[in-house]
Amino acid sequence: MGGKTVTRADLCEAVYQNVGLSRTESAELVEAVLREISDCLVSGESVKLSSFGTFNVRSKTERIGRNPKTGEEVPILPRRVLVFKPSNVLKDHVNGITGSEAAGEDD
């Protein structure tokens, strides 16, 4: 799964190979998890996945923006945006820092 965009099919295949469920059951499991996350976010709940990160929905108020090409002021309507905050564990993993390095221990 490295070097490209990971798709639902890739996640289903990873579950299939690592968990031992059938391909159909793996696909259903991935879909159920993604559906639950989506439903929670739509209802305004935050979703925290331990050692991974937190998904939140924030409400933005109406504001005035500017068309960069013409300089014309344009109203930006109020909307809800999805925000992801990675955990320190995920940040360290992405940066190649091991558990002992992250804890500040000497090797």
Which tokens belong to 47?
């979703």
Q: Tens digit of pLDDT for each residue in 12-35?
A: 999 999 998 999 999 999 999 999
For residue 5, is pLDDT > 60?
yes
**Cα(62)–Cα(73) distance, rounded to whole angstroms?**
13
Same structural domain for residues 17 and 62? no
Please tell me whether residues 52 and 12 are part of one structural domain: no
Regarding whether 92 and 53 lie in a shared domain, the answer is: yes
Could you list the residue range(s) of the whole structural domain that residue 35 is in? 7-43
Domains: count for the chain = 2
Whole-prediction pTM: 0.75
Q: Domain check: are 66 and 90 in the same one?
A: yes
Query: What is the spatial distance between Cα 84 and Cα 87, in angstroms, rounded to a whole number?
Result: 10
For residues 8 and 34, the answer to whether their CB atoms sit within 8 Å is yes
Give the Cα separation of 33 and 39 in Å (integer). 10
Cβ–Cβ under 8 Å, residues 32 and 43: no
59 and 72 housed in the same domain: yes
